[in-house]
Structure 1
């Protein structure tokens, strides 16, 4: 807004009488600005005000001054003209206060001038009351009453002038009436003065409120105009506006361009018709258009609403924000808002979203998409008072297949399972893969009795039928746990947790069963609670140890680094698998102190190794979002004396799902220190392309499932590894193949171009003593 544009005065909560008179200025509200509005409205009435004063003076002289003489009349008239000139001069000084705040001295001078003028007028009734007759005093008061009434009308915005004039002249007249014994006249004078003063204050209140509203409308108009100019001048988003019938008005050039029509053809046409395209005739509107229409119908604000529109037969995506337009009385006048074409970004996001929401192995929705579907189902159930359901299922005996026949067969089995699950789904149910051999199903409407049980039995029966894979006939079963929303939980986390508890119960019963969640299942979670309790004391009890698995150069097979792996041998529970306690640590944020301990111990141990050997430490998402993570790395390096270049931080793609910006910032700070970053389990769960573009990873670790698949001549696995190697090479990143277990696999991985290899063929995870012995043997051999 320009500097000359007056600001809208802050409207106070109420307008006290003394404040309206200008005698006080409460802290709440911009009273200096309100004073300016009062005074600016008076100066343009000067001719009427001065003319009325002079006519009244002549009437007073004619009525009362024959009793006091011509000389006294002339002197009084001279004093009155001087006082009137002085008061008018003070008013003229305040002529421009509609665009500025009057000073304290200006306001004080005006008050003094009004009092002087009233004092000069009061001479007349006092003189007539002393020297004249009662009839003459009555005539003078009649003139005064007319002038007071005129002042209340013409000086309504400035009640102080009317109040001061009425009070001073009224007091003088009442005193003169008392002196002459006219007690009724004195009472009438006092009553009239009181009524005029209170009425003037009430009228002034109304005037001030009207001025405030007027100034607010003016500023609003200025803001809208400035916004419009800014949008047009900077070629930013465009403004749109519709009337009460949802017809376009005041179409801006950029809005017209977005619609592909000139402004004159757009004004007056229905907004929804312009953007609906052929759907306007068929009535088959996109859901986003229905949403927009409902919001316009309900006259509610909306922001960043993505709407699918059709412009010249082409589907586009617009991002719209809007707010209702109301007049001074709160009446609805239409809608005004901003919009932009986000088609390119939308299409790009859809591609990324697809890659991020679907499992690469099975093509099923992954955990992220299942979470979203369950969240929508719970919301739908709450809105329409229905029920939704979440089923978690785990394959029985899958681990035996994986261990005996290898990961390639296991992956093909998972693909077969996903295909059978798809066959059982309909429009009301969606299945997805949570990870490993865990799948889940979201039933949007499970209100009909027996819906969940019937589907669970069909799943168990279908998945228990034999599978023919690579000339092997395989038998696996399925265990299913279910929870009903919102009965068994009002949030996604609660429903999933309770379905998981039911699945645990099904597994405990031997598998091949379906259990619906019951509140008593929480007792089954007691074991997990005890595990958590013991885990909280694992560090202080010194129950945690580190194992290290070697990583070798793919060409020379020389040792290049070790990956640090935490192990837990509990006093209470015995040896606890990382698969069991790491998820507990993640859920309870114990992973932060455990991760800190692992970081410090790994760095300290690495200082005992040859200087060219590096150490890799796995870091979880919980650690990355911890504000002290970077300091943890710095303390581990400084405390051990290990060079930052010898420490590699390994993360999985899942760390970016919780808070991608925080995680990326933490990794960038670690890289600034000198550490390197490796991306583990690449391609197994979520799309990594966005992360590879934003972060300079030093290494991409190819998941062992692809390695095992390539060893079995899987065209898909071979293509994936070649693509990863080519992409990593172009980005100047190394590649590490995980899970290499044979010489044939080593040769294959080497031919595919991976730069490093990790797996049982070159060594299992080993304790610190074995690592040191390995180096001692190498040193002895070199001598």
Structure 2
């Protein structure tokens, strides 16, 4: 169809006259000159929206044969830009269908039809015949690829971090706000992770800012590998990162993902001819459980990150309502710990290390104990991380080293003493001198002192680490690699570091009897590796005979665990020495069960449509002991309300008057703080449907047992006061 015929009538009609034919020829000539100039093209569609004309130069510019374009729907040939966020392109098909005018609408030539991306600006008007019937579009177009790509590049720079290529703070804030708004309407969940790199400042200070930039780029690459398409990753600035994970509320999966992130980021980074090591901490909050609005969720994930960092670093932590007071609690514990050191209120207890072949004690590991006059026993898992964060660990570590050396001089000369050394102690320039002074003052033979180190010591300067190793070996002390198998690069450490012993982490022992775990094989592999390197191996955490038989079958020669003894005070050890009792027969349960944590916690117990109040005394991954109900038969199904939307389906397995032992249908998972939590929680949307306000969950929020105002049945059990 001729150009002049197709575009006849655009801009009005002309009255016939002497110059009409000449004007038509001139119009055709002008249109052809316009097309040949390449500054713009003409196009037309029929009433169905199919392309019936397009300039040949336009087809050539698109590198697409003209015959492949004609008769195609215009809306199928061009698509909007979803990255730009410009809504005008999205309404192209609607505009064509509605016969609306199109004015300078940017569209992209469908990439499946071309070898390169091309951007056009489309304009067009609907054409109607004399009867008012729509006959198609007549329009023009021009190539804006260069300008538009520049615009997209500018947009990208405003939305993405120039160093790592990750989304920047602006984009992450907009994405999170839009996601939460949409998910709130759809009653969907969204997890938010906040990450902060540990020891990144040390890399910048010692290796320079270019090295720090290189490290951040590698961190971004590792984050992408772990997260993949599951969420959006952003760098908020400095060494702070954020991850948005839509439709994930399973705290078991989130904990596993956090562990993977921590381990991946903690791997050494090659930077030039050197190696840098850092770590990370992770804070997690989940909408709608921990917050419904963006500001609330960000604040709560920040609190969780703060708790993870101040819990010893290299950890993850879920948000919980009690984190708001944790900073103040930590400050009080820090003050009390300083006073305890000053007043000599701490003790060292010693757990035996026993030779499995004849059950003879060959050494002890010194473990700090603190009996607070008001708080009672404060566990090392509480005060050691606080000491690490406040730099009190150097003073605490020196005290433990001196006390252990002094106490060990009262033991037989064949018995060694092991002392844990933190990464902060190890990197202290005065550390080797402190060890030397402790040996000299106590008179302990250096070969009887064993320093237990973890892989975190390798996260500092490698040259300084090697120098410290050489100095310690020069003193004659023994070195043990603790928690072996839990890190990423243990084998490379063994290749270069002068260790005398490997300690198998207790996490492998905990699951070594489970059929679906590879822990027993890993224990065997570690022992075999240790033998090949002429090192000793101690297996930690053996508590039951089924574990004992497994590790012995795998070749364990030295065992440390409750099956032989808990940690003992020095006075009791001296009494055993006086009685020449240095042989301990193993004693313990036949089968290992998940560790039960002693506690005093009020919980709700739901049975049918009744809620009872009870006391939880013990809690493990798979069960609990509760008190406060009479008349509950074995086999009864219950639901425990542990607060904060945590409901646990369980079955009564044991009954002794008002005391019940229950087994959980689904095991609990780690909360990142040494405690346990449920994988899932009752959604605030479900509680709102039951008549409660739509707010984030709180620790004391009860779960309604009756929905819809039904009449309760008669209670089947008697609630008694448990104290």
- TM-score by shorter chain over 0.5: no
Q: Which has the larger radius of gyration?
A: 1
Q: Which structure shows the higher strand fraction?
A: 2
Q: Which structure shows the higher helix fraction?
A: 1
TM superposition score category, shorter chain reference: 0.3 to 0.5
Choose between structure 1 and 2 for higher RCO, CA contacts under 8 A separated by at least 6 residues: 2
